[in-house]
Structure 1
Amino acid sequence: MKLPPPDSELGKLMATLPQTGAVDWIGLRPKRDVAMNEVVEVVAETGAGLVGDRYSGGSGKRGITLIQAEHLPVIATLSGHASVEPATLRRNLVVSGIPLIALKGRRFRVGEVVLEGTDSCDPCSRMEAALGPGGYNAMRGHGGLCARILQGGTIRRGDAVVALDITDSIA
């Protein structure tokens, strides 16, 4: 995603975030078609993925997936549920307090790990089985963010999520 020049009006607006966020939940998918494992911390490997996750060692563009905690009640409502557990949505991190869409095309820090938002994390057809008929559509626009791991380390529940300076953005 190409961002506007940092000194433009739109660039200044996009660089301004109201606050930092926090990691509320961490989950790993050990292999296809199995339940997510909730963990309190995970090791992120540069250019690869999360140790213990089925996508670890891949191309890196989808090294980690994040979803907005504030969107969980929306997804629940739109899919006809009172609530939705994070593991149901199959994302690695649930993050609160910072708009994930603002991190698309940018570098950001989660604890000691530096990530780069690469693309929206669109829902897959598995959401029909997980949430029931219409589950796919309930998640559209609320699926979160895929990110590349630029600097590895450990991510822990409660870690801060902080956007890095806009000049560190990808082109």
Structure 2
Amino acid sequence: MVAVESIEAEAGSGIVGDRHHGSRHRHVSVQSRDELAAATAARGAPVPEELTRRNLTLDHGAVPTIPGARLVVGDVVLEVVRRAAPCRVMDTEIGPGAARAMHERGGAICRVLSSGTIAVGDAVELPG
């Protein structure tokens, strides 16, 4: 994973250049810095966002995880497919206990409903 200033999201396909581009549902994985802070507290050690293998990190607020929920990032509409389960690789990449700390805090896997650019600093609209 490499941090970038912006990405192109393509409706029905995902993030252009991502290994999941063109997959049926796993277009974008989304996490929250608030949830990462909670995971860090639960683990008692840092859970760095760049090592969680997620595509997008929101500055604040909880990521919706109920299938069908929609969020808007910049001009791109995303729809939640499922809760993102923590990857076992997290314990290797981050350290022991990282995957458990991310349980129920891993964000969501979303499909892209509308094409556009997502850039650092874009406005985010969450349901509710």
| TM-score (structure 1 length as normaliser) | 0.68
Query: In angstroms, what is the RMSD of aligned CA positions?
Result: 1.8
Instruction: Say which SS state the counterpart of residue 77 (structure 2) adopts.
Output: strand
Please say if 1:39 is aligned against 2:4: yes
**Aligned partner of 1:159 among 104, 122, 127:** 122
AA of the residue aligned to 1:74: A
**Aligned partner of 1:63 among 27, 39, 60:** 27
Change (3 A) 1:152 1:103: farther
Task: Indicate the residue corresponding to 2:59 in structure 1.
Answer: 96
Task: Tell which structure's C-alpha radius of gyration is larger.
Answer: 1
Bigger proportion of residues as helix: 1
The alpha carbon displacement at 1:101 in A equals 2.6
Distance in 1 (alpha carbons) for counterparts of 2:43 and 2:32: 17
**Aligned partner of 1:140 among 83, 95, 103:** 103
Distance in 2 (alpha carbons) for counterparts of 1:75 and 1:124: 14
Distance in 2 (alpha carbons) for counterparts of 1:41 and 1:74: 26
AA of the residue aligned to 2:122: D
| Identical-residue share of aligned pairs (%) | 36
The alpha carbon displacement at 1:55 in A equals 0.8
* Structure 1 residue runs without a partner (length 5+): 1-35, 167-171
- The answer to whether the 8 Å contact 1:98/1:161 transfers is no
Task: Indicate the residue corresponding to 1:115 in structure 2.
Answer: 78
Q: Which runs of 4+ in 1 moved over 4 A?
A: none
| TM-score (structure 2 length as normaliser) | 0.89
